[in-house]
Amino acid sequence: MHELPQQLANGLALGALYGLIAIGYTMVYGIVQLINFAHGEIFMIGGFGALTAYTALPTGTSLLIAIPVMIVGGALASVAVATAAERFAYRPLRSAPRLAPLITAIGLSIALQQLVWQFYPDAKKAVSFPEFKGEAFKITDSLSIQRADLFVLILAPLCMLALGIFVQKSRSGRAMQATAQDPDTAKLMGINTDRIIVMAFAIGAAFAAVAAVAYGLDKGQINFEMGFILGLKAFTAAVLGGIGNIYGAMVGGVVLGLAEALSIAYIEDIPGMSQLGGGAWSNVWAFVLLIVVLLVRPQGLLGERVADRA
């Protein structure tokens, strides 16, 4: 039960999930300095969009065909809601004091939960999601990886790689970096910063939809509240890695996921701490880790000290 490789694999899969969601927090923060607390709900909406797409498929469709359809359906839903939120909730508050959009985000988060609860068929309790069934992949006697975990372990690095190339190499990516570093000057270069901001929200939402599909395939169900704690964890991951830094989001996610998995497995073995281990305490240890990192390295693991503005 406590074999280290297995715990590391579990932690990595959990961390990849956190990282995918954390991208959304970090990209939006990097460009408009807004903590989009509704991002957890964008993730949740991605899950329901994916489920809707799945329901529209003929019964008996193989999961290998269904999964891409679900990702597209989920991303369409989450991107639509995220960009609408940007346009109608956040953009009018762009020059308001920081607190105003933050409160808006919290309100939006509650509103989105309630809308799904009220209007999505049977969503007042957990609804079942196609589960990625089948044998786990046995790598050694003591290490096997669930299919759903494998899905996120493959997709998360691919998404990350694609995003890295986009930001570093493409014209829009360069414009995104410029907007993050100095929005007014970016405008002077001819960059339509409003479009770049929408793009940041959209990319974050699409990544959250991928995460939601991974989450649903793993748990076999989704619910209207699932964005709350996962959003909080992913936000923690983004801060842990250094908010504003896209690689930091992934690193923070992985560190957080590993810490959780290891705390579940090993804390109770420490003499005198047998009461503080197991799954019930994993959230506590996750946030303890956050506090420690913030004390020792407030800018996060990969964050930069902001001192380079003239």
Partner 1 sequence: MTALLEVKDLKVAYGKIEAVKGISFEVNEGEIVCLVGTNGAGKTTTLRTLSGLLKPVGGTVTFDGKPLAQVPAHKIVSLGLAHSPEGRHIFPRLTIAENLQLGAFLRTDKEGIEKDVERAYEMFPILGERRKQAAGTLSGGEQQMLAMGRALMSRPKLLMLDEPSMGLSPLMMQKIMATIAELKATGTTILLVEQNAQAALSLADQAHVMEIGKIVLSGSGQELLHNEDVRKAYLGED
Q: Does 193 bind partner 1 (CB under 8 A)?
A: yes
Least CB distance to partner 1 at residue 185 (A): 4
Please report how many Cα atoms fall inside a 13 Å half-sphere around the Cα of residue 165, on the Cβ side.
5
Least CB distance to partner 1 at residue 159 (A): 23
Least CB distance to partner 1 at residue 90 (A): 19
Secondary structure (H, E, C), 92-146: HHCCCCCHHHHHHHHHHHHHHHHHHHHHCCCCCCCEECCCCCCCCEEEECCEEEC
Mark the segment that binds partner 1 (CB under 8 A) among 50-58, 63-71, 179-187, 232-240: 179-187
Q: Looking at residues 129 to 168 of the shown chain, list those that interact with partner 1 (rule: CB under 8 A).
A: none
Please report how many Cα atoms fall inside a 13 Å half-sphere around the Cα of residue 258, on the Cβ side.
11
Q: Which of 52, 83, 144, 177 binds partner 1 (CB under 8 A)?
A: 177
Mark the segment that binds partner 1 (CB under 8 A) among 142-150, 190-198, 252-260, 284-292: 190-198
Closer residue to partner 1, CB minimum distance, 82 or 178 = 178
Closer residue to partner 1, CB minimum distance, 190 or 271 = 190
- Hey, which residues does 123 pair with through a beta bridge? none
Dihedral over Cα of 93, 198, 204, 109: its sign: positive
DSSP-assigned letters across all residues of 69-88? HHHHHHHHHHHHHHHHIIII
Looking up tokens 């597209």 gives 72
Q: Does 97 bind partner 1 (CB under 8 A)?
A: no
The residues binding partner 1 (CB under 8 A) are 171, 174-175, 177-178, 181-182, 184-193, 304, 308-310
